[in-house]
Amino acid sequence: MTSPQFLESLSNIPQIDYMHSRRQINPSFFLKRIKWLIKQIPGLMRFCLNTNFVHITGTSGKGTVGAILQSILACAGYKVGFYNSPHVVEVYERMKTAEKISSKPLKIQTLFIPALTFDSLTQFLKPYLEKTILTSPYGLPSYFEIVLTIALLYFQQEKCNYVILEAGCGGRYDATNIIPQNRLAIITSIGYDHEHLIGPKLSDIAYEKAGLIKKGSKVLVGPKIKGKILQVIKKEAKKKNAKLISITKNEIKKFENLEINKIIAIKTAEILKIPPNAIQNGIRKYTPLPGRLEIIKKSPLIIFDGAHNPDKIKYLLSQLNNNPAIEQLSNRTLIFASVDTKNWRAMLKLLIPYFDKIYLTRHNILHRKSADLKKMYNYTVQQCKFLGQVKIFIDPSDALSLAMSEAGKNDLIIATGSLYLIGSLKKNKL
């Protein structure tokens, strides 16, 4: 059994799951659980206390902002760790380091954690996990909490100057909020996602995400956060005596040719006093995360995008509509899957008008339920009165195979709705 398989198999040990039990118990339980584990590991809490953390949350854009910022900080001469989730294909994608390896010409080396290092850290952690079962009042930590602990151990081992943490869900009680302090908290956007856990109202979601703000720290909010939602964050910042920083209209105008996630990353770098040349080089050297508007094939054009909430779908469609080359493509096929807790109806309502064919399917991940295929089919055909071709597939690979066999050189195929779907498709060779 490989280390990733071993960690996934721990789910068969009885434990309280954040994604299913958060409403039933005091959610502070989950922070206490990972804190208990980290305190058992010599030096790890000290690392969390003394490291420059940039902590990112938001409904959309947090992974992209983190990836751009990692590139910028590496260009400035720092060794930078970045933890984000979920992974697309392999768990190693969740933790990577970046550093400058030469100045002329400028070269940045970005690496996922090596499999052997992941194995070694998993072996190191096993006695501590066994200890949690026998001794901890909170029991065995979750998969997410264990993998985060491995990431922190890896960044400690690599002597990272900066660590960028992407929150998994919300922020206030998310496992990543174990860090005692941060250089900066970033809230990229507030929209509807995980409403069953941190909603149902946008003000509830904003309150949860504002929980990343630390006493006496700084918090940067994305330019789309306004009105009552912004007031929720301001209230938390005032409570924590933290400095709230917004992106001004003039700054947006200055960077009007850049998409919003790059503007947030640039503003972050400026707050951290990174030199302008490092910011420019970092944006130039930045490599997008897997499954983000990822072009898999050019003829026909096949794009994999892990958008999994209405805000992300809106962003995906805006990118497609602003690309003249894509607008000229002939037939368009959608391959769509969703986790059952996501608002798949809202996502499909946005997507349906753009496509000629819609293939509904599922992902292959065991621990997360897919949305009901029959319900999605009925919604697509009846409620949206879609007149094109709608089909369901219990195997996502079959949906992709048929779409490719039917597509001409000037056609478009997009797979979206879930990063888990993208991972399921990428495991099969095109």
CB burial of residue 198 (10 Å; 0-12, 13-18, 19+) = buried
Cβ neighbours around 390 below 10 Å, total: 19
What Cα–Cα distance (Å) separates residue 136 from each residue in 131, 132, 133, 383?
A: 7, 5, 6, 50
Task: For residues 70 and 139, state if they share a domain.
Answer: yes
CATH label of the domain that carries residue 305: 3.90.190.20
For 100-151, the DSSP string reads EEETTTTEEEEEEPPHHHHHHHHHHHHHHHHHHHHH-TT-SPPHHHHHHHHH
pLDDT in tens, 344-364: 999 999 999 999 999 999 998
> Measured between alpha carbons, how far is 221 from 241 in angstroms, rounded to an integer?
16
Task: For residues 308 and 258, state if they share a domain.
Answer: no
CB burial of residue 246 (10 Å; 0-12, 13-18, 19+) = middle
Instruction: Name the band, by pLDDT with cuts 50, 70 and 90, for residue 337.
Output: very high
> Measured between alpha carbons, how far is 38 from 153 in angstroms, rounded to an integer?
10
Say which DSSP state 231 is in. Answer: H
CATH label of the domain that carries residue 102: 3.40.1190.10
Instruction: Name the band, by pLDDT with cuts 50, 70 and 90, for residue 429.
Output: low
pLDDT in tens, 158-182: 999 999 999 998 899 999 999 999 9
Task: For residues 117 and 72, state if they share a domain.
Answer: yes
Average pLDDT over residues 30-37: 96
Amino acid at 429: K
Share of the chain above pLDDT 90, in %: 77
- Residue range of the domain that includes 245: 3-285
Task: For residues 200 and 260, state if they share a domain.
Answer: yes
pLDDT in tens, 300-332: 999 999 999 999 999 999 989 888 888 778 889
pTM score of the predicted model: 0.92
Task: For residues 256 and 324, state if they share a domain.
Answer: no
pLDDT confidence of residue 19: 64
The crossing angle, in degrees rounded to 10, of helices 28-40 and 143-157 is: 40
Task: For residues 99 and 229, state if they share a domain.
Answer: yes
Task: For residues 250 and 355, state if they share a domain.
Answer: no
Among 259, 285, 311, the domain-final residue is 285
Q: Write the Ramachandran bin of 139: left for phi over 0, alpha for psi from -120 to 50, otherwise beta.
A: left
CB burial of residue 63 (10 Å; 0-12, 13-18, 19+) = buried
Tokens of 114: 């090596």
pLDDT in tens, 62-95: 999 999 999 999 999 999 999 999 999 999 999 9
Task: For residues 113 and 183, state if they share a domain.
Answer: yes
Please answer whether residues 178 and 144 qualify as being in contact, where contact means their C-beta atoms are separated by less than 8 angstroms: no
pLDDT in tens, 359-402: 999 998 877 789 999 999 999 997 676 666 899 999 999 999 99
Give the chain's domain count: 2
Task: For residues 19 and 86, state if they share a domain.
Answer: yes
> Measured between alpha carbons, how far is 189 from 292 in angstroms, rounded to an integer?
17
Task: For residues 131 and 263, state if they share a domain.
Answer: yes
What Cα–Cα distance (Å) separates residue 128 from each residue in 115, 124, 137, 346?
A: 21, 8, 14, 43
pLDDT confidence of residue 64: 95
- Tell me what the pLDDT averaged over the chain comes to: 92
Among 253, 285, 317, the domain-final residue is 285
Say which DSSP state 364 is in. Answer: -
Among 285, 305, 335, the domain-final residue is 285
Task: For residues 244 and 365, state if they share a domain.
Answer: no
> Measured between alpha carbons, how far is 420 from 302 in angstroms, rounded to an integer?
17
Please answer whether residues 208 and 76 qualify as being in contact, where contact means their C-beta atoms are separated by less than 8 angstroms: no
Task: For residues 254 and 394, state if they share a domain.
Answer: no
Tokens of 305: 């995008």
